[in-house]
Amino acid sequence: MSTAPLPKISDLKISPKIVAVFGNGSFGTAMATVVGRNGHTVRMLSRRQEVVDGINNDHKNPKCFSDFELPTTISATIDAAEALKDVDYIVHCIPVQSSRNFLKNIKHLIPPTVPIICTSKGMDVTTLEMMNELIPSALESRDQPLTYLSGPSFAKELLDMNPTGVVMASKTLELANTAAELFRSPYLRVYPCDDVIGVEIGGALKNIFAIGAGVVEGMGLGLNSTALLVTRGCNEMKKLSIAHGARPETLSGLSGIGDLMLTCFGKASRNRTVGCRLGKGETLQQILDTSKEVAEGVATAPAAAKLVRNLKLESEFPMIIAISELLEGKRDAQATCELMMVVPVKANEG
């Protein structure tokens, strides 16, 4: 664990705030801890009374990282109105596929001027929306201040205060910078960015390629094959981002290739774990039945493949198509690897 000293509120550029955190999974717990360590008052909104009791009585989340003692600045509640009372910021850590209904149910309680910092990464399977479209749609508001936190950041390593860098994206750099100050600390660098589309697409697609990287490992193909897959995945990620108006340099940074590398090579990656188990012969249903947390790539891959097909660009994105068809049961792991590895070779794409 890092021995870096914790910052004092007097050292920060932002006065103490009240922050509501939606979600009490591993990343929600990590986000609450980072903000709580900075001296802000944090209220975690949970659906489970046992989680609320554990956090409030023992300063521990019994659902995840149950041995980790949370800062005393963190409390929890099952009452959305209580969590949002006089709130200054909201940190949204709900999985993408659950976010629409979650937000719709409490939209009347969310003050329209309070910034929402979204950490969810993926694409809605029905509408193909990413969070920058889904949140305004769910809230029926186009004016809510929104930012998006992304980058290579495993929850456990944030709890352990390992040096980490992430990106805070918003349409305005002023909001991105202000929101970033909630999280900045001696162990966490937060870089402001105004390329929301690039940050969102990088965060969504990297989960798909992490599943592919896991398949490669599960089949015992080695690091040469994984490096090939990750490099080709980066290429597909860039092409789809640019097609949607993102800046290519965004995908070369922390929220693009940085997050891709961590998720594809890091053993704590949920998406990589799903792929590894698929590569060893388990069915997707067996994996989902025994998984404690959501691997967003499982839903994002078919959604991204649908998007690619709608654009009539299947030949340009063979790995997105291959991984999607594996998850849909249309091909086995061996055939998926063959399709992911044998791709048209064009100059300057290696």
Residues 216, 217, 223, CA angle at the centre, nearest 5°?
85
Residues with Cβ < 8 Å from 333, sequence gap 6 or more? 215, 218, 219, 278, 279, 281, 326
Could you tell me if 178 and 14 are in contact, meaning their C-beta atoms sit under 8 angstroms apart? yes
Residues with Cβ < 8 Å from 245, sequence gap 6 or more? 197
The 10 Å Cβ neighbour count of residue 86 is 8
Residues with Cβ < 8 Å from 202, sequence gap 6 or more? 150, 237, 241, 250, 251, 255, 256, 259, 260
Q: How far is CA 156 from CA 27, 66, 268, 326, 339, in A?
A: 8, 12, 9, 29, 34
Helix (H) or strand (E) holding 249: helix 248-251
Selecting among 8, 60, 85, 206, the annotated active-site residue is 206
Q: Would residue 17 show up in a list of annotated catalytic residues for this protein?
A: no
Catalytic positions, written as ranges: 206
